Amino acid sequence: DAGITQSPRYKITETGRQVTLMCHQTWSHSYMFWYRQDLGHGLRLIYYSAAADITDKGEVPDGYVVSRSKTENFPLTLESATRSQTSVYFCASKTGAGELFFGEGSRLTVL
């Protein structure tokens, strides 16, 4: 199916564990993004990537790592999960005209 797919959709982990959220797009858009969405904060940008091997920090990057070895994949890793990282994570990509498309989200709970 065309679009953005995120996996896993739901994840429960424990404090201190490493977690990787996957994001795959089928369009070959250059720009990709990771956001987290929390009640009271709305959407906040974690990291973004302008192309393969080019990544940059957003508003809330601490505790997260990203990589982009291929244009279509943009995984987000929590190196040592904390309870404050319990959230819904959204991956997105952007067309050349500037239209943003989102994945279905990954709901992460850190116990």
Partner 1 sequence: KQEVTQIPAALSVPEGENLVLNCSFTDSAIYNLQWFRQDPGKGLTSLLLIQSSQREQTSGRLNASLDKSSGRSTLYIAASQPGDSATYLCAVYSGGGADGLTFGKGTHLIIQP
Which of 20, 58, 77, 86 touches partner 1 by CB under 8 A?
58
Q: Does 31 bind partner 1 (CB under 8 A)?
A: yes
Q: Does 59 bind partner 1 (CB under 8 A)?
A: yes
Q: DSSP secondary-structure letter at 104?
A: -
Q: Does 74 bind partner 1 (CB under 8 A)?
A: no
| Concatenated DSSP letters of 34-92 | EEEEETTTEEEEEEEEEETTEEEE-S--TTEEE--SSTTB--EEESS--GGG-EEEEEE
DSSP-derived pairing of the beta strands 106-110 and 10-13: parallel
Q: Which is nearer to partner 1, 23 or 78 (CB)?
A: 23
Q: Does 42 bind partner 1 (CB under 8 A)?
A: yes
Q: Does 54 bind partner 1 (CB under 8 A)?
A: no
Residue 32: count other Cβ atoms within 10 Å of its Cβ. Answer: 26
Q: Does 43 bind partner 1 (CB under 8 A)?
A: yes
Q: Does 62 bind partner 1 (CB under 8 A)?
A: no
Q: What angle do CA 46, 12, 37 make, to 5 degrees?
A: 30
Q: Which residues form the interface with partner 1 (CB under 8 A)?
A: 31, 33, 42-43, 45, 48, 50, 56, 58-59, 90, 92, 97-105, 107
